[in-house]
């Protein structure tokens, strides 16, 4: 068992086209400049003005009372669970949700909660699936406490939940006495794709967070939003988990820069994802799902070359993609241009033709 991240294979060339993840974006000179100029203080002591500016701005953007700056999205999810739930309680989420598949079992390890997995296409479940999952109250059943959605749904292919479905899910949850949490790692991708303001998209969700290290291109940081009382309790977990920072304004300045400059341009990533999808769907034997946003999932088994072999062959040509849930994932972001998409398609065609 290897727990540390894998290093590149021996002899691999430098990566020319990085479709691995939007987490791999490098801060631009202009973002670094904003970070260098940031006014800072001791964040843990409540003295960092740039962190306060970011939190105030995020609370307003999400239509919530308050916000807290966290080092990562995972810490936002874990802190939210720890505030919402007590040991032995249950969270309802999609079976592919990040909290269930990709956080090292943190919600069980640290919160002693269980997660009830729901089925549904493209990382999303229906209002009816939620109704069907609600348990009656009895001493035999775990107490259900929280309903979780992921906007966009990552393993679901960057799928965008319909705003009306989100509203119905929140209404059902609240009607049954459960709280609601939105994992908004790529929330702004959903808002740009749907043309819906963030506060509207997150209405009805008691807690929501946004990652600045995905498509928004900042090197570090995520912001969790909710009521004043919720954020007060989340701060206690941030402290306990070791997430209270010092001159964090350097990083918050990168996030503020991203809010000003990197949201509208997400539409370019979505256009590049569509172009990649169109190119892939013209290669015989490739099964590809049409993307709503910036994630393109495909399978090359039908070409006679297994997906994992394609991932390895592409890497040896300087093109990095990821292998996730048995499929290839290509992620579009601000370090990938339209000509790079064309070039990646060319390399892929050659790899598949070579067999
Ligand atoms: C990336 C991601 C996370 C975790 O965020 P980190 O900042 O990497 O800790 C959580 N949920 C989803 C849907 C993600 O894509």
CA-wise closest residue to 161 among 130, 205, 126, 115:
126
pLDDT digits (tens, 9 = 90+) for 167-183: 999 999 999 999 999 99
The domain at 29-261 falls in which architecture?
3-Layer(aba) Sandwich (3.40)
Q: Which residues of the chain have pLDDT under 50?
A: none
- Rounded-to-integer distance, Cα 302 and Cα 288, Å: 11
The pLDDT score that the predictor gives to residue 2 is 66
Ligand 1 binding pocket includes 207 (Cβ within 6 Å) = no
What spacing in Å lies between the alpha carbon of 127 and ligand 1's midpoint?
A: 24
- Evaluate whether 306 touches 323 at the Cβ level (below 8 Å): no
Angle (nearest 5°) at CA 66 between 61 and 72: 80
The pLDDT score that the predictor gives to residue 1 is 57
Q: Which residue's C-alpha comes closest to atom 5 of ligand 1?
A: 73
pLDDT digits (tens, 9 = 90+) for 279-337: 999 999 999 999 999 999 999 999 999 999 999 999 999 999 999 888 999 999 999 99
Ligand 1 binding pocket includes 300 (Cβ within 6 Å) = no
What ligand 1 atom has the least distance to the C-alpha of 97?
A: 13
- Rounded-to-integer distance, Cα 163 and Cα 61, Å: 17
Q: Which residue's C-alpha comes closest to atom 8 of ligand 1?
A: 73
CA-wise closest residue to 173 among 139, 115, 127, 234:
127
Best mutation site among 21, 102, 104, 220 for ligand 1, i.e. most ligand atoms within 8 A of its Cβ? 102
- Rounded-to-integer distance, Cα 168 and Cα 48, Å: 39
What spacing in Å lies between the alpha carbon of 153 and ligand 1's midpoint?
A: 11
Ligand 1 binding pocket includes 213 (Cβ within 6 Å) = yes
Ligand 1 binding pocket includes 292 (Cβ within 6 Å) = no
Report domain extents, the chain: 29-261, 265-354
Cis peptide before 152 (omega within 30 of 0): yes
**CATH class of the 265-354 domain in this structure:** alpha beta
């Amino acid at each position: 068992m290897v727990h540390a991240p894998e290093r590149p294979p021996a002899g691999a060339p430098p990566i020319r086209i990085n479709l691995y993840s939007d987490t791999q974006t490098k801060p631009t000179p202009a973002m670094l400049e904003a970070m260098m100029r940031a006014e800072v203080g001791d964040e843990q002591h409540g003295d960092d003005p740039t962190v306060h500016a970011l939190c105030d701005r995020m609370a307003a953007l999400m239509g919530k009372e308050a916000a807290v700056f966290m080092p990562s999205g995972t810490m936002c999810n874990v802190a939210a669970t720890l505030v919402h739930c007590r040991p032995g309680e249950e969270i309802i989420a999609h079976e592919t949700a990040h909290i269930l598949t990709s956080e090292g079992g943190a919600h069980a390890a640290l919160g002693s909660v269980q997660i009830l997995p729901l089925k549904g296409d493209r990382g999303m479940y229906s209002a009816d699936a939620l109704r069907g999952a609600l348990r009656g109250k009895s001493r035999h059943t775990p107490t259900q406490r929280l309903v979780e959605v992921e906007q966009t749904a990552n393993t679901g292919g960057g799928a965008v939940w319909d705003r009306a479905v989100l509203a119905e899910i929140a209404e059902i949850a609240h009607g049954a006495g459960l709280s609601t949490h939105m994992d908004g790692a790529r929330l702004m991708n959903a808002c740009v794709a749907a043309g819906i303001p963030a506060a509207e998209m997150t209405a009805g969700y008691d807690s929501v967070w946004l990652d600045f290290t995905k498509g928004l291109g900042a090197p570090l940081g995520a912001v969790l939003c909710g009521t004043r009382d919720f954020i007060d309790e989340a701060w206690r977990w941030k402290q306990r988990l070791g997430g209270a920072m010092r001159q964090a304004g350097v990083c918050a300045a990168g996030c503020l820069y991203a809010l000003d400059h990197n949201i509208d341009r997400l539409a370019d990533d979505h256009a590049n994802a569509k172009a990649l999808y169109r190119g892939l769907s013209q290669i015989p034997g490739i099964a590809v799902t049409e993307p709503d946003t910036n994630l393109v999932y495909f399978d090359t088994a039908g070409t006679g070359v297994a997906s994992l072999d394609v991932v390895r062959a592409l890497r040896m040509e300087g093109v990095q993609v990821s292998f996730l849930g048995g499929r290839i994932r290509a992620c579009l972001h601000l370090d990938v241009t339209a000509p790079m998409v064309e070039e990646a398609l060319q390399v892929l065609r050659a790899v598949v033709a070579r067999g």
